[in-house]
Amino acid sequence: MIISPKILKLLELLPTSVLRIFAVKFLSGIMDKYADISISGMENLDGEEGPFLFIGNHLSNSDGIVLWKVMKKWDPTFVAGVKLQKDALTYLGTIAVKNTPIVPNTADKAGISNIIKLIKSGENIVMFPEGTRSRVGAMIKARKGLNLIVKLSKARLVPIGIYGSEKLLPIGKDADMNRETLHKAKVYIKIGKPFEMVKRNAGEDRKEYEERATDEAMRKIAELLPEEYRGVYK
Give SS3 for 38.
strand
CB 143 within 8 A of CB 131: yes
> What whole-number distance in Å separates Cα of residue 230 and Cα of residue 221?
8
Output the pLDDT for position 7. 84
| Region class of 232: left (phi > 0), else alpha (psi between -120 and 50), else beta | alpha
Phi, psi of 143 (to 5 degrees): -80, 170
> What whole-number distance in Å separates Cα of residue 231 and Cα of residue 226?
10
Output the pLDDT for position 12. 85
Instruction: List, for the chain, all residue ranges whose pLDDT scores fall below the cut of 70.
Output: 1, 83-86, 174-176, 178
pLDDT in tens, 76-121: 999 998 765 567 788 889 999 999 999 877 778 999 999 999 999 9
Output the pLDDT for position 8. 80
Output the pLDDT for position 223. 98
In Å, what is the CA distance from 52 to each residue of 90, 138, 143, 197? 23, 25, 20, 13
How many helices (H) and strands (E) are present in the chain, helices listed first? 8, 7
Output the pLDDT for position 88. 79
Domain at 5-233, CATH from 2.30.30.60, 3.40.50.2020, 3.30.70.270, 3.40.1130.10: 3.40.1130.10
pTM here is 0.92
In Å, what is the CA distance from 210 to each residue of 78, 140, 204, 220, 229? 23, 17, 10, 16, 23
> What whole-number distance in Å separates Cα of residue 129 and Cα of residue 143?
6
